[in-house]
Amino acid sequence: MIKGKLIGSGATADVFDWTDNTIIKIFNNDEPDAAIEQEINNTKSLQNCSFKFPKFIQKLEYEGKTAVVYEKVFGTSMMKQLGENPLAYKKLAQKLAHLHFEVHKNQVNGIREQKQYFKERISWSNDLTDDKKERLYKLIDNMPSGDSLCHSDFHPDNVLSNEVENYIIDWADCCNGNACADVARTILTLKTAELPENASMFTKIIITFIRNRFCNIYTKEYLKISGKTMSEINEWNVAVAAYRICAAKKAEKSTMLKIINDYLEKVKE
């Protein structure tokens, strides 16, 4: 079968239309088999969850590359909705908070444990010395545990909506753990994601203003419906920055390093 229109492109794979009801995700040749199998396992593990997500169909080989076929879901990303109607940011931010809280209500068997996954990701970083990594491992070991399903990359581009349903996509990094860490991860993404390079200065100012307002409303709404406190979320900031650094882009990476180094300087042995 011939793949259809390119509908998405990321660091590890490209996504194309496949059939009327499916899409195909074709992974880069350098993506480890273990990572692909982990993504498939994660998606299968969500089958009894209370939210909507694209179902796994099959794994296959396409033009010499590993590919996975998923159910096609129809909707517009929240990011695109925000771009088309910036004045809807309050309603969309509140919606994002409620969807995130819905994810955290679930408990799933057979996926990674959050603290262990955080430490594994930190071990991949080329920007941290072994000494810094060891100190960050100790920090994570002392963080409060949890048993909530955590997405680990929950942001407006990973929510697709139509008139009837909301779908949450991209479950490659999900794990069982503390929901506050997952919220801290989302806040960090909302605050530090790189702005479009070709945008004018005026556009960047508008985007920054909307993004900050969106982040504040999302956070406030999540705290209200979950009963969590800001201090519970903020205590995860360093661990989340360390988790993220191995995949962060240049501008984001400088922010992550500052968060990490400021912390390590304060708790110098």
Cβ atoms 156, 82 nearer than 8 A: yes
How far is Cα 261 from Cα 264, in angstroms, rounded to an integer?
A: 5
pLDDT of residue 177: 98
pLDDT score of 269 more than 60: no
Please give the average per-residue pLDDT across 223-238, as a whole number.
Answer: 98
Query: How many degrees, rounded to 5, is the angle at CA 11 between CA 8 and CA 13?
Result: 55
What is the pLDDT at residue 247? 86
Q: pLDDT category, 189, cuts 50, 70, 90?
A: very high
Determine the average pLDDT of the residues in 213-233.
Answer: 98
**What are φ and ψ of residue 74, in 5° steps?**
-105, 125
Q: What is the tens place of the pLDDT at every residue in 39-73?
A: 999 999 999 999 999 999 999 999 999 999 999 99
- Architecture of the CATH domain 76-266: Alpha-Beta Complex (3.90)
Domain 6-71: CATH architecture, name and number where available: 2-Layer Sandwich (3.30)
CA distance 151 to 111: 11
Give the mean pLDDT of 16-25. 96
Whole-number average pLDDT of the chain: 93
Q: Are strands 6-9 and 65-71 parallel, antiparallel or unpaired?
A: unpaired
What stretch(es) of the chain map to CATH 3.90.1200.10? 76-266
SS3 call for 212: helix
Cα distance between residue 216 and residue 30, in whole Å: 38
Distance separating alpha carbons of residues 125 and 128, to the nearest angstrom: 6
Amino acid at 23: I
Q: Rounded to an integer, what distance in angstroms lies between the CA atom of residue 214 and that of residue 51?
A: 22
Flag whether pLDDT at 196 surpasses 70: no
Chain region(s) in the chain for CATH 3.30.200.20: 6-71
Q: What span, in angstroms and rounded, lies between the C-alpha atoms of 123 and 117?
A: 10
Q: What CA–CA distance (Å, rounded) separates 269 from 136?
A: 13
pLDDT > 90: what percent of the chain?
83
CB atoms within 10 A of CB 246: 17
